[in-house]
Amino acid sequence: MGLLGVAVLGAGHMGADHVRRLDRVVSGARVAAVADPDTARAAEAARGIEDCAVHADLTAALDTPGVDAVLVASPAPAHEAALLACFERGLPVLCEKPMAPDARGALRLVEAETTTGRRLAQIGFMRRYDREYQQLKSLLDAGGLGRPLMLHCTHRNVSSPPGFTSAMLINSSVSHEIDAARWLLGQEITAVTVLRPRSTTHAPDGLSDPQFVVFETSGGALVDVEIYVNSRFAYQVRVEAVCEGGSARIGEEHTMVVQTPGTVGEEVAQDYLVRFAEAYDRELQDWVDAARQGRVAGPSAWDGYASSVVAEAGVHALETGERVAVSLAPRPALYG
């Protein structure tokens, strides 16, 4: 079985890291093309990779000889067009979240993939590939702790990037907790409430940070998320599952501890590419292995759609201060 030729769309922070990962970490794949409107940035990401084409144009990258699969790491507004182009060509595609900028676009993609009769898209909810998350999922599925009653989630960043908005705390950051909660519990989210404490003085003017998000689920569980994107001290992601027979917690720092006279210090992750480095490695390896076998696994386009619907409800709850119900379209048999 030959190497899987991958076209990477987007050569920014995330895209360049995926190019590196495919070239140096993942087995069974090669980077066949890199596309970015900034061709100098694309060329820098592809530097040193033999026979890797560089393009400014999406179509040219997908039609490069030797491209067997596509990784989409471009900005969110470009995702829908990229996925539709992959569906038209029958190319398996791993797309970073969000799958589309809004729920309507996400539903269009679900409908487009359904018409192909097979799954082609995997959505980049990488926490499903984190070892601690997988351990918690196995524990909950085994039922040894009894029925899950609550999930307490913490999601903190050191600082927010320029242009980050109050809505993006939910549709960009909390989108990971949306998918993780659905996956861990095996339940859909049915309603969202967003509470706003006073904002930290470290937040840019007009940014509501932190926020406290509460999800209700189809199984009667509650999920709360503290999202705080200008903590200034660490990138932290934690989850505690509280069940009828006990609780389980993941995300505590398991890092190097340094002792010097009179002090003890620990390393603290400063961004998601550090905290979830192994999860990204495992995600891409799993995707490559599946694509080489002619199949697609992992989070589906339906998962991407469900996340988008919940995120939109969350933004509405943020803006109105109301509890907002979540309503999903009928689930196609393709995602059964």
Within this chain, do residues 75 and 152 fall inside the same structural domain, yes or no? no
Within this chain, do residues 134 and 207 fall inside the same structural domain, yes or no? yes
Within this chain, do residues 31 and 171 fall inside the same structural domain, yes or no? no
Q: What is the CATH number of the domain that holds 74?
A: 3.40.50.720
3-class SS shares of the chain: helix, strand, coil, % to 5: 40, 25, 35
Within this chain, do residues 39 and 9 fall inside the same structural domain, yes or no? yes
Query: Which stretches within the chain are classed as H helix?
Result: 13-24, 39-46, 58-62, 79-89, 103-116, 131-142, 166-168, 175-185, 272-275, 277-292, 301-320
* Distance from C-alpha of 70 to C-alpha of 76, rounded to nearest angstrom: 15
Query: Which stretches within 144-230 are classed as H helix?
Result: 166-168, 175-185
Within this chain, do residues 192 and 323 fall inside the same structural domain, yes or no? yes
* Distance from C-alpha of 321 to C-alpha of 313, rounded to nearest angstrom: 11
Tally of domains within the chain: 2
C-alpha distances (whole Å) from 192 to each of 9, 152, 171, 182, 222 are 33, 15, 13, 13, 10
Within this chain, do residues 110 and 140 fall inside the same structural domain, yes or no? no
CB 55 within 8 A of CB 64: yes
Within this chain, do residues 199 and 116 fall inside the same structural domain, yes or no? no
C-alpha distances (whole Å) from 221 to each of 22, 47, 115, 213 are 39, 49, 34, 14
Q: Which domain holds residue 112?
A: 4-127+278-299
Q: Transcribe 96-147 into DSSP letters.
A: PSPSSSSHHHHHHHHHHHHHHTS--EEE--GGGGSHHHHHHHHHHHHTTT-S
Within this chain, do residues 149 and 186 fall inside the same structural domain, yes or no? yes
Q: What is the CATH number of the domain that holds 328?
A: 3.30.360.10
Give the relative orientation of helices 175-185 and 301-320 as an angle to the nearest 10 degrees.
120
Within this chain, do residues 150 and 228 fall inside the same structural domain, yes or no? yes
CB 107 within 8 A of CB 329: yes
Q: What 8-state DSSP symbol labels residue 88?
A: H
Per-residue pLDDT of the chain (336 residues; tens, 9 = 90+): 689 999 999 999 999 999 999 999 999 999 999 999 999 999 999 999 999 999 999 999 999 999 999 999 999 999 999 999 999 999 999 999 999 999 999 999 999 999 999 999 999 999 999 999 999 999 999 999 999 999 999 999 999 999 999 999 999 999 999 999 999 999 999 999 999 999 999 999 999 999 999 999 999 999 999 999 999 988 899 999 999 999 999 998 655 566 667 776 666 666 666 778 899 999 999 999 999 999 999 999 999 999 999 999 999 999 999 999 999 999 999 998
Q: What 8-state DSSP symbol labels residue 185?
A: H
Within this chain, do residues 185 and 168 fall inside the same structural domain, yes or no? yes
* Residue 253, pLDDT score: 66
Within this chain, do residues 170 and 317 fall inside the same structural domain, yes or no? yes
Residue type, 195: L
Within this chain, do residues 57 and 26 fall inside the same structural domain, yes or no? yes
Question: What confidence tens digit (pLDDT) does each residue in 218-251 have?
Answer: 999 999 999 999 999 888 999 999 999 999 999 9
